[in-house]
Every structure is written in structure tokens, then in C-alpha cells.
Chains A and B, each alone.
Chain A
Amino acid sequence: MLSLDFLDDVRRMNKRQLYYQVLNFGMIVSSALMIWKGLMVITGSESPIVVVLSGSMEPAFHRGDLLFLTNRVEDPIRVGEIVVFRIEGREIPIVHRVLKIHEKQNGHIKFLTKGDNNAVDDRGLYKQGQHWLEKKDVVGRARGLFISDIIRRTDQSRTGIVSYRYKEVWNTALIY
């Protein structure tokens, strides 16, 4: 039913109106793209907004939460900060907290990370023989948070299929 109505509208338009609609659509798409690229420039990060994939930082970040990242190289790395880093040879970046830093006079720094919900530090995740991370492994720093499943947050005592389904619906709705 709905698709037929839409096609009738299109047939009623003349060529100029059609071009106008197409251009309008193009404007919306390019504004969205400009905002995204502008965010990339301001934050200095390749992907300024990311989704949390694992539960290794619970209860701070749950699966599905949105993180806002910046990547200013001049920001010093200090303990307690939440950094996003990539291990050599692995594609997916990891978001964990800095546990230890050792910085030399010339600015060269080596540091160790650990997920809040993990019992041990990340040395098990690093490359074979790698004990520290360096500045070049960092792809960003978590600066802001947006929770995406609100129903689950306000309703933490109840477990069960019903509240889980609500979570799925809200999750997909907010990502769109």
C-alpha cells in the first residue's frame, strides 16, 4: 500500500521538482558527511565515536555504549586515563585503562594497561614478547560516554527475557 502511494507522488512531479528532490537528498547526505569529517578533524581521531564491543570495562562501559574519542598527540599519557590502542597485527582496537607509566627525560614513554573488569593486566593480550605499549600504539583517548540502553540502566534489579528484548530494541533504535 505505502509503496504505491510514494510512486504516485513521484510520477506527479515534473523534471525540475525531481532534480530539486535529488539535490535536497544530496545536501542532507553531504551535510552528514561534513559533520562527521569535521568531528574527525577537531578530535584528531580516525573514528571519533565508537561502540564498546566487550565487557572488559564493566561496570563503567557496557556492550553497546558509545564512546567519544579524541586523539591529540600532545596530551600526555597518565595513569587512570582510558586509552584506545591497537596491538600490532590486530585489527580491533582495545579500550582499557592505563595502569603504569615510565617516561624518560626525552619524552619516550612506555605504559601498561588493564581492563577494569579483568583480573590481570593486558600483558597477555600484547604481542609475544611485548611487555609495554608505546605512544605509537595509541589511536585515541576516551573523553565522553553515552549509554545506549537506558531501559537496562533504570531497571538493573530485574533480569529476564522481557527486559533483555527491550534492550535490543532501544539499542538498534539509538544507533540509527
Chain B
Amino acid sequence: MNTVLSRANSLFAFSLSVMAALTFGCFITTAFKDRSVPVRLHVSRIMLKNVEDFTGPRERSDLGFITFDITADLENIFDWNVKQLFLYLSAEYSTKNNALNQVVLWDKIVLRGDNPKLLLKDMKTKYFFFDDGNGLKGNRNVTLTLSWNVVPNAGILPLVTGSGHVSVPFPDKYEITKSY
């Protein structure tokens, strides 16, 4: 250890090993945590239209409109290894055409440091709720759940579903007025 170069070399190698150990520590201390919290969802308004799907294949498909409320407290999920939460509200239902359909209606990014208490009322969907076909009309059981993707600093990327979902029936008739 008698040249600047060899000292710099050992210092660098040591700091790299320390960083690697810290990163592994970050990962292992949070890998098995349960990241689920209770969520309260409420749907205040549902409307159904049947239009040409302008977001994709131009066929006449059912287009749903939902106004919803979300109440959730995400504070307990954030720890030293959580960088952000990617929240998404998804609707799951089955139709004659497809046994399983899942559509993300709304999403939000909650960074560490942002307000973790969600108290959203009368929210409109961010993405168009088009079905692949006409399966929303008269569909008795469309289930809305709030889930989140936990994005860590280093480690696993789990998808967690909040405990609490709401099932809504869709109307039997199409809305022909231009309202929403």
C-alpha cells in the first residue's frame, strides 16, 4: 500500500463491496413483507354506450363510463426500500366472447414523500373502458379492485391487491344522449 494508485484501488474495491452488501441488506429486509392494506371503493354512477372503438380496432363495442370514490391509507406500505407505488384501478369481468377481461380504468403514481392517504371522490376514469365486443350490456358482475405495484430501490417488484373490492352491474340499455 505504498502508491496512491494501489490505495485508491483498495478503497474503491472496498466501497463497491460495502454498497453491494447494503443493497442486498435493503433487499432481504423487505422481501417478505405483506404490502396489502384495506381499501374502500364506491361507485356512484355507471353509464353505457355503444360506439365505434376509436382507440383500436374500429368495431362497434360497448363503452362504459364509471364515476368512483377511493379511500385508502397507504402509509404502512412505505419503508426504506419503497421508491414509489404505482396504483391502478382495474375492472374484471367475463363475457360471452372472452372468459376473462381485465381493463385498467385509472392509475396514479405515489412517490415516497407524497401524501399517502387517498381520499378521492367523484373520479372519472382515465382510460376508455372499451370492451372487446358487446359484453358490458346487462353484465351483472363487473368487479373493481385497486391494486398497486411496489417499486423498490433494490429488490422484487410485487403486485399487491388491496383488500376491498366492489362489484357493480352494468345497465341493460345504451345511453344515446351525448351526456357524461
Contacts and interface: CB of A to CB of B under 8 A. Distances in A.
**Chains A and B come from one and the same complex:** yes
B157 A82 contact: yes
Contacts of A101: 100-102
A145 B111 CA distance: 16
B83 A60 contact: yes
Interface in A116-144: 116, 121, 123, 131-132, 142-144
Contact of A131 (B57, B102, B147): B57
Interface residues of B, number: 35
B14 interface: no
Interface string B90-133: 10000001111111100001010000000000000001000010
A90 interface: no
B104 A82 contact: no
Contacts of A99: 103-104, 127
Interface in B6-26: 12, 16, 19, 23
Interface in B122-175: 127, 132, 147, 149, 151-157, 159
Interface string A98-126: 01111111000010100010000101000
B153 A147 contact: yes
Nearest to A108: B98
Chain A interface main SS type: mixed
A79 B88 contact: yes
Given A102-B101, A145-B152, A123 B55 contact: yes
B19 A80 contact: no
A80 B100 contact: no
Interface in A64-121: 78-82, 97, 99-105, 110, 112, 116, 121
Give the 8 A-B residue pairs with the shortest CB-CB distance, closest first: A103-B100, A102-B132, A79-B102, A131-B56, A105-B99, A102-B98, A60-B151, A101-B102
28 contacts: A59-B109, A60-B83, A79-B88, A79-B102, A79-B104, A80-B90, A99-B127, A100-B104, A102-B97, A102-B98, A102-B101, A102-B132, A103-B100, A103-B101, A104-B97, A104-B98, A116-B109, A121-B55, A121-B127, A131-B57, A142-B157, A143-B157, A145-B152, A147-B83, A147-B153, A147-B154, A173-B12, A173-B16
Interface of A: 2, 59-60, 78-82, 97, 99-105, 110, 112, 116, 121, 123, 131-132, 142-147, 150, 153, 173-174
